[in-house]
Amino acid sequence: MTQTSTAEERFISRLIQEKPLLHVVTQGDEEEYGFLGIKAGPVSWAVNSEILRHLQKIVKPNHRTLETGCGHTTVAFAALGARHICVNPKAEEAQSIRDYLKSIGASTDRLQFILESSDVGLVSLGSEVKLDMGFIDGCHGFPFPALDWHYIDQHLEVGGILGVDDTNIPAVKVLTDFLDSNGTYRLEDTIGKTSFYRKLAHEKNREWVFQGFNKAALDKALGKRSVRIIVKKLIRKVQGGRA
């Protein structure tokens, strides 16, 4: 084992063992989400250790990565040496992550936070940004997971990996249903409610008629059209015969 992989293993093991509370419930959140029984203060909504171990396997120091939402995954991407962009609106969470990385002796030099909601922050990414991996785990309400994918996909290289967390939530499942059937991504791994896809192709045109996801509707429309054309031709023939 190399020196680097020993350090990476140590960082991920510490993260799994220490389970730092890197998310913040503000007083405002407590009032807004009161019906969920959450209290103001530090909490963790992190992915489980299996996902962190999976990231350890697939993320390489030369990778350019981006995630929506932050937490243990952000620590993992940074500690594994990736050049990582994290899009998350809460500055307190970003600071906790930087502090935790420093406390375990991991570098924050290649970690960049975009402190915006992903629907705003992702739009500002320059076209020169290229990604080897994206991870979607920010706002889980519709249409955010699909929106996150739409923008991440524009930067993700063919052959790159896309992780999608919380696929049990309908607003997320819309996205994974699309990825499962569109033909532009291939499912590589599913760990609990997290799926990892490999990007197979860029979509040149996002119009529905070019998407495998919509094939049944297109076939139906084309089928109906060809029946209409045949009927019209027959009518013309019959009418022509009578004349």
Ligand X SMILES: C[S@@+](CC[C@H](N)C(=O)[O-])C[C@H]1O[C@@H](n2cnc3c(N)ncnc32)[C@H](O)[C@@H]1O
Chain residues binding ligand X by CB under 6 A are 23, 45-47, 68-73, 87-90, 93, 117-118, 137-139
Q: Which two tokens stand for residue 112?
A: 């960049």
Minimum CB separation from ligand X for residue 177, in Å? 21
C-beta closer to ligand X: residue 91 or 217: 91
| CA–CA separation, 39 and 33 (whole Å) | 9
Label residue 215 exposed, middle or buried (CB < 10 Å: 0-12, 13-18, 19+).
middle
Minimum CB separation from ligand X for residue 35, in Å? 18
Alpha carbons within 13 A on the beta-carbon side of 162 = 30
Contacts of 168 (CB under 8 A, 6+ apart): 193
Minimum CB separation from ligand X for residue 192, in Å? 13
Which residue has 């899009």 as its token pair? 87
C-beta closer to ligand X: residue 116 or 203: 116
Minimum CB separation from ligand X for residue 193, in Å? 11
Minimum CB separation from ligand X for residue 64, in Å? 18
C-beta closer to ligand X: residue 70 or 179: 70
C-beta closer to ligand X: residue 92 or 219: 92
C-beta closer to ligand X: residue 74 or 211: 74
Phi, psi at 104, each rounded to 5°: -100, 5
| CA–CA separation, 171 and 191 (whole Å) | 19
Residue closest to ligand X (Cβ): 71
